[in-house]
Chain A
């Protein structure tokens, strides 16, 4: 697996990597751009070929499952104890991960999370037993691919991933409760609060399953109910669909809305007609295909003419 690069001037900048394909994929370009060579830690022959060229290990699994532990232990086993290891610690604290390892003194946690790898900072967490030289090596490694290391508390969610997960969750609570449409919620936060992306767009970028998993991890870690995953996010996480595929949000029939039934300036006869049409309406079809449901949901406002403004 040793690439041609490993024999040239960048040969001493090889990194042994394990983790999720997506996160590795998001980092691969950045690392290669800065002259690093990635060696997959589960590829024994590549690892053997890289040998002494490997200067660090990266564990990039975001899940809390046993897979994370297995991969970290693999790195811990195949790399000499002097080599520092950076491990994604947004869903599992670095301290917890260190407790699994034979050589915990070399571990530095990194807030690597899908969709959030673009910025110039690297949130990191340093467990109690980590030696100063490992921290210095991690700082140098991160600087080597253009990231400034910022040490924060070792906690599930860290700083930005936790904040953004709560924002996405709240937006989906509001969407599910028909406070506003998903499009309007994104627009509101971008135009009204100066967000660079709308909350639903953030969720789409990170992946709803990862957002839900992070919130579950935060809830499990703190025992706090404020991290409870909203029903719509739970569904999106299970289905695994991104927002562009438009999940169908159940929409009550207009006439049956208790709170959402708007008053009207229309004459009373129109109200009577509505009641009549409700009586004669066919039963609702719960399993309509998404296309049909999307049509029903369309609530584009009627075109407003200049004379309407004058008439108000």
Chain B
């Protein structure tokens, strides 16, 4: 029997996870409050999957089977038969706690409830449930289809069984896993905060232009892309918000200070690639 995954939120993250799960032969229940949003999400997945069709590794029959694995859901209660429910809603603790509180009442206690949050506390989200031991974090990384990692976040009350169940599910999705404690930024965002933060300090101090810093990091360090190119990709405003959230959760430790240059760019509409202007022009 295939692993059954419920996904809450048909935004960019939810769509990519549904896509990945369907390719990994899992059954997917894709939930969003808005029927039109789900319809467009499914169209997007169909389009992306169609582009993957070839004669050998992913045939037209495989495409059909993958699409059939994704079911549209507009009622949370319809997720009650899922083995694992992945919440990919907006980064708002109230929204997430409300969702988990509802999930706690409609799902069997053996269903694992996970959040894809990148900046909120899993322990805080789990506190909305009566069985916090079945709640954990499951962080995917963009681009989700090609980044081979899932960061499993263990909340203060997450059980070993839940961690292992998520590890098994991640394995099913073809992803490597690491386990992190529920601390601000977990592992990747916390360490990335220094990568981006130091580069932004250098730029603020006029140590070198952004393109020069990127070039040095790329060529001297062997990184795929420099920090400013990466921020442009993820969105200057998004990165600023994430940095600010981390800074606050770290009790304003100066190591994690966000940078005014990003706030100003966001205010000016220079939000990176998506607005065609960030540290670079597109």
Among A116, A187, A194, the residue within 8 A (CB) of B224 is A194
Expressed in whole angstroms, the minimum distance between the Cβ of B20 and any Cβ of chain A is 15
Q: Is the CB of A302 within 8 A of B149?
A: no
Number of A interface residues at 8 Å Cβ cutoff, please give it.
56
Across the interface, which residues of B come within 8 angstroms of A308, CB to CB?
A: 164-165, 168
Which chain B residues in 231-281 approach chain A with CB under 8 Å? 254-255, 257
Interface string of B163-198 (1 = CB under 8 A from A): 111011101100010111111001110111111011
Among A163, A174, A263, the residue within 8 A (CB) of B198 is A163
Across the interface, which residues of A come within 8 angstroms of B156, CB to CB?
A: 259-261
Asked if B9 CB lies within 8 Å of chain A CBs, one says: no
Inter-chain CA distance A59–B45, complex, in Å, is 58
Among B112, B167, B182, B220, the residue within 8 A (CB) of A301 is B167
Across the interface, which residues of A come within 8 angstroms of B190, CB to CB?
A: 170, 174, 179
Asked if A284 CB lies within 8 Å of chain B CBs, one says: no
Q: Is the CB of B206 within 8 A of A153?
A: yes
Asked if A189 CB lies within 8 Å of chain B CBs, one says: yes
Q: Is the CB of A160 within 8 A of B220?
A: yes
Among A121, A166, A174, A192, the residue within 8 A (CB) of B216 is A121
Q: Is the CB of B178 within 8 A of A263?
A: no
Across the interface, which residues of B come within 8 angstroms of A116, CB to CB?
A: 220
Asked if A310 CB lies within 8 Å of chain B CBs, one says: yes
Interface string of A156-189 (1 = CB under 8 A from B): 0011101110110111001001111000110111
Q: Select the stretch in B34-42, B93-101, B207-215 that faces chain A.
A: B207-215
Inter-chain CA distance A260–B195, complex, in Å, is 27
Inter-chain CA distance A60–B189, complex, in Å, is 35
Among A152, A160, A192, A310, the residue within 8 A (CB) of B221 is A160
Asked if A13 CB lies within 8 Å of chain B CBs, one says: no
Q: Is the CB of A309 within 8 A of B168?
A: yes
Expressed in whole angstroms, the minimum distance between the Cβ of B1 and any Cβ of chain A is 5
Q: Taking A116-B220, A193-B188 as contacts, is the C-beta distance between A159 and B202 under 8 angstroms?
A: yes
13 CB contacts below 8 A, A to B, read A120-B219, A163-B227, A171-B191, A174-B190, A184-B179, A188-B149, A196-B223, A224-B254, A259-B182, A262-B163, A264-B161, A308-B168, A312-B84
Further 7 A-B residue pairs, CB within 8 A, beyond A163-B199, A262-B160: A150-B215, A153-B205, A180-B181, A187-B176, A188-B191, A263-B133, A309-B3
Across the interface, which residues of A come within 8 angstroms of B154, CB to CB?
A: 260, 262
Asked if A155 CB lies within 8 Å of chain B CBs, one says: yes
Asked if A265 CB lies within 8 Å of chain B CBs, one says: yes
Residue of B nearest to A148 (CB): B219
Inter-chain CA distance A188–B187, complex, in Å, is 7
Across the interface, which residues of A come within 8 angstroms of B160, CB to CB?
A: 262, 264
The 10 closest A-B pairs by CB, nearest first: A263-B133, A119-B220, A191-B149, A184-B178, A196-B222, A192-B149, A263-B157, A153-B207, A166-B194, A312-B165
Q: Is the CB of A179 within 8 A of B187?
A: yes
Asked if A226 CB lies within 8 Å of chain B CBs, one says: yes
Across the interface, which residues of A come within 8 angstroms of B172, CB to CB?
A: 309
Asked if A287 CB lies within 8 Å of chain B CBs, one says: no
